[in-house]
């Protein structure tokens, strides 16, 4: 399923955003764009998430992904909302089958080699690892790479500005997903200038890793 033309390819940092007020998404997008980031992952973690996704898609400013997609119903919802791709914290077989049936570009998540193999057998070779910090961080990523060279990983969970360079240095890491850039707290405080600054710093780090 995955190939070089998938919509997430080319981005090294994918900001995960949790939105409590759908209208805030416009300000968050503007802040990220000013910081040089052209992709946003909106997590299905609040009642406002789907509305925020629809607004983000309608803006046509960024590549919009739906995050925290866990069920077949949510797959259909985000597909109808017009997202470019979906990201999950898990890799249930029913969800992956639904994704393949509807043709939504998708990144399932794995926490074991068995899950990685099951996903790879279905054609998913770009995989999120979650929660990466609890799985062993870079050591876990290397362990997967040692036996599954066809898999590219997107670590999430505990990713921060402090360890971003370390994760991006791993040869099997395609990108990272994290909430530190546009955190829920910064959005609630409407501190969009800080979001822009964090986005700029993340991009500066990412550029040093190709």
**In sequence order, what E strands does 60-195 have?**
63-67, 85-87, 106-107, 109-110, 126-129, 152-155, 176-178
CB 68 within 8 A of CB 78: no
Residue with tokens 């940092």: 13
Is residue 200 part of the annotated active site? The answer reads: no
Joined together, the tokens standing for residue 83 give 């997202």
DSSP three-state, residue 41: strand
Is residue 128 part of the annotated active site? The answer reads: yes
**Catalytic member of 128, 138, 161, 204:** 128
**Catalytic member of 4, 41, 59, 61:** 41
Question: Which residues are 109's β-sheet partners?
Answer: 128
Q: Give the C-alpha separation, 19 to 34, whole Å.
A: 19
DSSP three-state, residue 14: strand
**What are the residue numbers of the active site?**
41, 128
């Amino acid at each position: 399923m995955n190939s070089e033309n998938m919509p997430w390819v080319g981005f090294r940092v994918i900001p995960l955003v949790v939105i409590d007020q759908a209208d805030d998404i416009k300000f968050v997008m503007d802040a990220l764009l000013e910081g040089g980031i052209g992709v946003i992952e909106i997590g299905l973690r609040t009642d406002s998430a789907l509305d925020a996704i629809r607004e983000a898609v309608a803006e046509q400013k960024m590549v919009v992904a739906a995050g925290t997609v866990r069920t077949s119903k949510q797959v259909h919802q985000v597909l109808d909302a017009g997202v470019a791709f979906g990201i999950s914290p898990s890799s249930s077989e029913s969800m992956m089958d639904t994704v393949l049936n509807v043709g939504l570009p998708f990144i399932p998540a794995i926490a074991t080699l068995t899950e990685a193999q099951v996903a790879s057998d279905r054609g998913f070779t770009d995989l999120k690892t979650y929660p990466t910090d609890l799985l062993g961080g870079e050591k876990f990523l290397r362990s997967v790479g040692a036996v599954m060279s066809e898999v590219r990983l997107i670590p999430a969970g505990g990713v921060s500005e402090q360890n971003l360079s370390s994760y991006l240095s791993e040869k099997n890491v395609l990108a990272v997903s994290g909430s530190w850039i546009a955190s829920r707290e910064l959005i609630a405080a409407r501190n969009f200038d800080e979001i822009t600054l964090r986005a700029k710093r993340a991009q500066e780090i990412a550029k040093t890793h190709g």
